[in-house]
Amino acid sequence: MTSLVTKVHVPRLVGHRGAKASAPENTLAGIRRAREEGAAWVEFDVKLTADGHPILMHDDTLDRTTDGRGLVAAASLEDIRRLDAGTRFSPAFRGERVPLLSEALGVLAELDMGFNLEIKPCKGREVETAQAAMATLAAHWPMHRPIPIVSSFSQDSLAAARGDGPDRAMFGYLADALPAGWKDEAVRLGCQSVHLGWRNLTRRQVSAVKQAGFLLLVWTVNELPRARELLEWGADAVISDCPAALVGL
């Protein structure tokens, strides 16, 4: 674990779903905006279309972030590509599309950015989503690029991702709060980083994660005083909706 951790440089600031506060989440525009706001890394979510294409999407349904309706898992790529993923955020982003993971990787390479890919599977597609995401990484993210982090709340997804791409990514154990037995689970899943929500996180927990040899990323931190406190405690990075507000950490 330690040897890979030392090879991965995660900056102190990571944009959440791109730059969620100022651009449509999980879009190419969001990734570009995060870079403009000073984030060298972004976090984003990956799901599968009905016909097995990995796309950037957080929700199980299309309703909140696009002008479509219904389940992502029931919509083909052709269906989803017709949708507007920008207007619900702002008319300024009218016409923004839901991107393929491969398209996002191309923009990240163009901008010389790193990333945390969260596998966000629809129910019953945990293994399939992980396998598709890792296959896309293998095809579209060259080995000379920065090593990404692949994380998930789904242990089945993490196990499948680890099996399909042990040398292509560092793997992240993702939880709302630090549970009992977290270290054994993280080690079993081959994780080198831990990703925790900020609300219930304590200094003692930060110390425990760091002393165990893991990188620690904390989400979703949008206020500068809290971000500074977490980093002072020893967290390696904060994931934020508004990178511009936290530049200079």
Per-residue confidence (pLDDT) for residue 246, from 0 to 100? 96
| pLDDT confidence of residue 81 | 97
Q: Sign of dihedral through CA atoms 179, 181, 186, 188?
A: negative
Strands 170-175 and 149-152: parallel
What type of residue sits at position 15?
Answer: G
3-state secondary structure of 199: coil
The CA dihedral of 152, 155, 156, 161, to the nearest 10 degrees, is 50
Question: What percent of the chain clears pLDDT 70, i.e. is strictly above it?
Answer: 97
Burial of 88 (0-12, 13-18, 19+ CB in 10 A): middle
Q: Look over the chain and give the mean of its residue pLDDT values, rounded to a whole number.
A: 96
Give me the CATH number covering residue 192. 3.20.20.190
pLDDT per residue as tens digits for the range 18-62:
999 999 999 999 999 999 999 999 999 999 999 999 999 999 999
SS3 28: helix
**16 in active site:** yes
For 103, the enclosing helix (H) or strand (E) is helix 101-110
**Average pLDDT over every residue of 210-224:** 98
Q: One of 53, 58, 140, 144 is an active-site residue; which one?
A: 58
Say what the pLDDT of residue 4 is. 57
Q: Which residue has the higher pLDDT, 168 or 233?
A: 233
Supply the pLDDT for residue 166: 80
Cα–Cα dist 150/127, whole Å: 14
The average pLDDT across 165-188 equals 94
pLDDT for 2 equals 47
103 contacts: CB under 8 Å, gap ≥ 6:
28
**Which range (6-15, 64-73, 113-122, 177-186) has the least confidence?**
6-15
Is 0.75 topped by the overall pTM?
A: yes
Q: What is the pLDDT at residue 164? A: 86
List pLDDT tens digits, range 110-163.
999 999 999 999 999 999 999 999 999 999 999 899 999 999 999 999 999 999
Beta bridge partners of 44: 117
More confident residue, 13 or 2: 13
- Give the chain's count of helices (H) and strands (E): 10, 9
Are the CB atoms for 18 and 41 separated by under 8 Å?
no
Active site residue 144: no
The one catalytic residue among 16, 53, 140, 144: 16
pLDDT over 90 percentage in the chain: 92
Say yes or no to pLDDT of 211 above 90: yes
Domain that holds residue 91: 2-246
For the chain, the domain total comes to 1
**Total number of residues shown for the chain:** 249
